[in-house]
Structure 1
Amino acid sequence: MVRLPLTPADVERGQRLGALLRRARGERSMLDTALDARVSPETLRKIESGRVATPAFPTIAAIADVLGISLDEVWAEINRPMGGTTPSIPDDSPRERLAS
């Protein structure tokens, strides 16, 4: 399987995701968080540092659950526009919601 190169937007989303997870983890150790989420500490480290810009959904869902963040929060953070505001959804567009 050939993996396409990441776009700058993919990289930026990965960095936002990593920053969100680091903030949510706070003083909690990376090791405890990773073990509770049933992922390797190396995987969590790579996600938090932005080295894995497109982690698997089950991995993010497990980490978010352990940290007490909703998937809606994750989605909003990684998809906010460059200006730092939360994206608005036009009233006539379908709304997608991730299960938490």
Structure 2
Amino acid sequence: MVRLPLTPEEVERGQRLGALLRRARGTRSMLGTALDAGVSPETLRKIESGRVATPAFPTIAAIADVLGLSLDAVWSEINQSDGVVALARSGHNSGERLAS
């Protein structure tokens, strides 16, 4: 399977996600957080560093749950400056897919 290159917006969104997770983790160990979420420490490290800009939804949901973050808060944080929220407010069809 060939993976298309990430857009600059996807890269930026991944960096915002990583920063959010690092802040939320605080002084908790990366190992403990990853194991509690059921992901490998390497996966968490890559997400937090922005190297995995588009992680799977269940992965983010599990990490957010362990860190006490709501998915609404995660969505709001990672999409704050790339126009996705503006698109949602502009009256586009609510059935449209806004982000990948």
The unaligned stretches of length 5 or more in structure 1 are 96-100
* Cα distance between partner residues in 1 of 2:47 and 2:89: 31
Select the structure that is richer in helix: 2
* Cα distance between partner residues in 2 of 1:12 and 1:77: 12
The unaligned stretches of length 5 or more in structure 2 are 96-100
Residue 91 of structure 1 and its aligned partner are, at CA, apart by: 8.1
Counterpart residue type for residue 89 of structure 2: P
Counterpart residue type for residue 71 of structure 1: L
* TM-score, length of structure 1 as denominator length: 0.84
Sequence identity (%): 78
1:17 equivalent in alignment to 2:17:
yes
How many residues are treated as equivalent by the alignment?
93
Helix, strand or coil at the partner of 2:35: helix
Residues 4, 92 of structure 1: alpha-carbon distance in 2 compared, 3 angstrom cutoff? closer
Helix, strand or coil at the partner of 1:81: coil
The aligned residue for residue 69 of structure 1 is: 69
Counterpart residue type for residue 38 of structure 1: G
**Cα root mean square deviation, aligned:** 2.1
Counterpart residue type for residue 26 of structure 2: G
Helix, strand or coil at the partner of 2:6: coil
The aligned residue for residue 59 of structure 2 is: 59
User: Cα deviation per residue 1:45-70 (whole Å; 9 max; x = unaligned)?
Assistant: 00000000000010000000000000
